[in-house]
Amino acid sequence: MKNPIGAKNLLSPFPAVLVGVNVNGKPNYMTVAHCGVAALIHIGISVRKGRYTSTGIKDNGSFSVNMPTAAIVKETDYCGLFSGSQADKSRIFESFYGTLGTAPMIKQCPINMECRLKQTVDFPNHEIFIGEVIQTYCEDNCFKDGVLDLAQLQLLIYGAGKYWTIGEPAAKAFEVGKELEKNGEG
């Protein structure tokens, strides 16, 4: 039986990412769980209004999306617990810059996406920043047979108040559903 539980957004899990910005000339990183594909090469991140990170995004017109692994879960959590206005989070990671030169990225993350701000969507308590991916940087070990190796990477995801990693695949996309057609069920 299904029970109504009220208007709750239970989309889960989310990728746990570290958003990088320059604020007052210094790298700052913020943990964000509300991050997703806005279009093919566009990423949307939702940030509560008034956050220190928002200033850097607006001032520079850029940000980075860094995908952390289980190896840096403590650092990732720390960046979500403390504001850059209170803590110098640039000291935790080794930063580098790419094409734009204004969006710091984290060397300890195997995947980094450098984004140019394209649009800001205003909500009462949050702003959604939509960025165009200008360049993506990956370590060599991110791929196996030309495909992103999600199980091996141990990228962090967030759900139900905990950090998780991705395990083994359940089925091959765009393939397993064809079995319903073959069996006359589709």
Q: How confident is the model at residue 186 (pLDDT cuts 50, 70, 90)?
A: low
pLDDT given for residue 61 in this prediction: 98
Q: How many CB atoms lie within 10 A of CB 77?
A: 16
**Is residue 9 domain-resident?**
no
User: Helix, strand, coil: what percent of the chain each, to 5?
Assistant: 20, 40, 40
pTM of the model: 0.93
- Residue 157, Cβ density class (10 Å: 0-12 exposed, 13-18 middle, ≥19 buried): middle
**Looking at residue 90, which CATH number applies to its domain?**
2.30.110.10
Host domain of residue 85 = 14-182
Please determine, for residue 173, whether its predicted confidence score (pLDDT) is greater than 70: yes
Which contiguous run of DSSP H or E holds residue 114? strand 111-122
pLDDT at 184 over 80: no
Residue 94 maps to a domain: yes
| Residue 169: Cβ-neighbour burial (10 angstroms; 0-12, 13-18, 19+) | exposed
Name residue, tokens 């006359």: 184
